[in-house]
Amino acid sequence: MRSHSIIVLLALAFAAGCGTTSRQSGTADVRWPGIAQRRETDFDRRTWNGTSVRLVGQLLEDIPDRIDSAAEHRLARNILVTMADAPPDAPDSSAFIALRTAKLMAMGNFADAAALGRQAPDLPRDAEEAERAAEAELLAGETEMACIDYRALAQRSSGRRIGQAVALCAARAGEPGAAPPGNNAGVLVRIAGQPLPATLPDASIAELAAIGLDPKLPPARRLEAAFEAGRASAVDGAALAKILQSAPAHGRAQPQPPTSGVDAAVLFHAIEQAAPARKLALAEGGILSPAGGIDQVSVALAVPLRAVKPGPGSASLSARFARLLYAVGDIDAARPWAELATRSGQAGGIWPYRVVLGQAKPAEFDKWRKQTRTDRPEKILAVVSAFGGVPIVEAADRSASTDVAAMDGAANSQRVGETVLRALALLGSDGPARTDPETLGRVLMDLDRVNLHEEARALAFEALAGARAGAQVDKPGTNAHS
């Protein structure tokens, strides 16, 4: 449990007049702070070997708070929650946890931030970080724990919002004279048992995600918040698909990236109800974000495609179905379509994806390119070269080259955590969609080098989707690489 003394906790509970309970740290070792094991994240206890906690903190600052790319966001989330030994120079597990919970909250992963924060034996020393930890608990629905932490925080900080939270906790506990929440309480209304406001001025990604996922709000009221959080990949695509499916949809769907929750709901319903060819065309038009990437809105819009099963009559669509499902990271759903594409003479349409999966040779790029017309061949070359171990020409920008060289050095020394953090910083907010080909190639090679094969593939698939790989090779007879 947190190392606030037992006496203090009992006194607070007695003063509140309610049965609050102290949080438990479970079975996690204080030198092994995390909430997910290797089988869930691909990271083991040695993730931070050879990397100082100071460098971890510096690299986390270099990673953008908003990460739109679904694959990149998932990679960032996994390394932040994994159960790994803290760097040997970390002063204590609380300090190392505080670094990670702050980034998780900034990314919008409030439930993970709350769960990880419970592993710390102490509240963060910094008042702002401590308040953020309590807010994560509140957004995650852990009101009793949030009240414990708000009360403890009030003893060393006199911020207006902290005082308001303590007053609401007192009202919740039935203390005499306690006031109900005011109009400006925002997410603090959860202390009073009320649903989150459907709109919040200047809402953070975490707040948008919490509103979007709040079961006390009907889908129509949380639609826009869920959509915005989905664009930041802070809401899972499967959950977002259910919200889009349940929301009212009026209007004519357009095969283009939706710019609002209403547009996304209209497009989702149209994809869901259309015949296979039209279903695919609508999804292809809307699957990329306005920035040209794959985020969790993209993942949600691909959900209706899984109802279509490949068959003899759908051979002409097979390569396109496979590419779209690969783009959102669903290799299992893409596999039968890819097999049909190969059998029906359309393997050229998915050749770059087959290279990433180890089913074709990167050296065939020139031969493939002669048969295709694609918008950004340099991005495709970078991807296929990375999975063939072919060196990529380093970027001309000196600062970028320095950062890439530092990532290469970490990967060569198998400093896994450092490699990933440097890769995330290089990919930036938009992810592989906007990363220059040379840097992207190095990132993919280095992630593969530290045995993060699935993560590298997911990023590669997103990059290929942004490059519109093989968009013109869906006719039979282009099976040069089967």
pLDDT tens, position by position, 404-455: 999 999 999 999 999 999 999 999 998 999 999 999 999 999 999 999 999 9
pLDDT of residue 181: 65
323 or 348: which leads in pLDDT? 323
pLDDT of residue 375: 57
Q: Do residues 69 and 109 touch, judged by C-beta distance below 8 A?
A: no
Q: Do residues 138 and 191 touch, judged by C-beta distance below 8 A?
A: yes
Q: What average pLDDT is seen over the chain?
A: 85
Residue 259, amino acid: T
pLDDT of residue 376: 62
Cα–Cα distances (Å) from 34 to 107, 133, 233, in that order, read 17, 15, 21
198-207, 238-247, 366-375: the lowest-pLDDT one: 366-375
Using the predicted structure, report yes or no on whether residue 478 has a pLDDT greater than 60. Answer: no
Q: Do residues 426 and 404 touch, judged by C-beta distance below 8 A?
A: yes
Query: Which structure tokens are listed for 357?
Result: 């999966």
**pLDDT, tens digit, 9 for 90 and up, residues 113-141:** 999 998 887 778 788 888 989 999 999 99
398 or 401: which leads in pLDDT? 401
1-10, 150-159, 215-224: the lowest-pLDDT one: 1-10
Question: What number is the average pLDDT over the span 275-282?
Answer: 95
Q: Above pLDDT 90, what percent of the chain?
A: 59
**pTM higher than 0.85, yes or no?**
yes
Closest CA to 318 of 282, 352, 277: 277
Per-residue confidence at 184, pLDDT binned at 50, 70, 90?
low
Using the predicted structure, report yes or no on whether residue 13 has a pLDDT greater than 60. Answer: no
User: Which residues share a beta bridge with 36?
Assistant: 82
DSSP 8-state symbol, 179:
P
Query: Which structure tokens are listed for 148?
Result: 């414990």
Cα separation, 309 vs 200, whole angstroms: 42
CA angle (214 as vertex; 208, 219 as ends), nearest 5: 90
Using the predicted structure, report yes or no on whether residue 30 has a pLDDT greater than 80. Answer: no
Using the predicted structure, report yes or no on whether residue 66 has a pLDDT greater than 80. Answer: yes
Per-residue confidence at 8, pLDDT binned at 50, 70, 90?
very low
DSSP 8-state symbol, 310:
-
Cα separation, 204 vs 451, whole angstroms: 34
Closest CA to 143 of 36, 11, 225, 21: 21
**pLDDT, tens digit, 9 for 90 and up, residues 303-313:** 999 999 998 88
pLDDT of residue 200: 78
Per-residue confidence at 1, pLDDT binned at 50, 70, 90?
very low
Residue 440, amino acid: L
Q: By three-state DSSP, how is residue 86 classified?
A: coil
Q: Do residues 308 and 334 touch, judged by C-beta distance below 8 A?
A: no
Per-residue confidence at 86, pLDDT binned at 50, 70, 90?
confident
pLDDT of residue 110: 96
Q: Above pLDDT 70, what percent of the chain?
A: 85
Q: Do residues 179 and 148 touch, judged by C-beta distance below 8 A?
A: no
Using the predicted structure, report yes or no on whether residue 394 has a pLDDT greater than 70. Answer: no
Q: Do residues 43 and 406 touch, judged by C-beta distance below 8 A?
A: no
Residue 340, amino acid: L
Cα separation, 414 vs 128, whole angstroms: 35
Residue 63: CB partners within 8 Å, gap ≥ 6?
76, 103, 421, 424, 425
Per-residue confidence at 179, pLDDT binned at 50, 70, 90?
low
pLDDT of residue 26: 42
Using the predicted structure, report yes or no on whether residue 241 has a pLDDT greater than 90. Answer: yes
Q: Do residues 41 and 417 touch, judged by C-beta distance below 8 A?
A: no
pLDDT of residue 348: 87
DSSP states of 355-378: HHTTSS-GGGHHHHHHT---S-HH
Per-residue confidence at 147, pLDDT binned at 50, 70, 90?
very high
Per-residue confidence at 390, pLDDT binned at 50, 70, 90?
low
Q: Establish how many alpha carbons lie within 13 A of residue 183's alpha carbon, considering only the half-sphere containing its beta carbon.
A: 1
Annotate 3-31 with three-state secondary structure.
CCCHHHHHHHHHHHCCCCCCCCCCCCCCC
**pLDDT, tens digit, 9 for 90 and up, residues 362-378:** 888 888 877 776 656 88
Per the document, the length of the chain is 482
Cα–Cα distances (Å) from 35 to 25, 32, 463, in that order, read 10, 10, 30
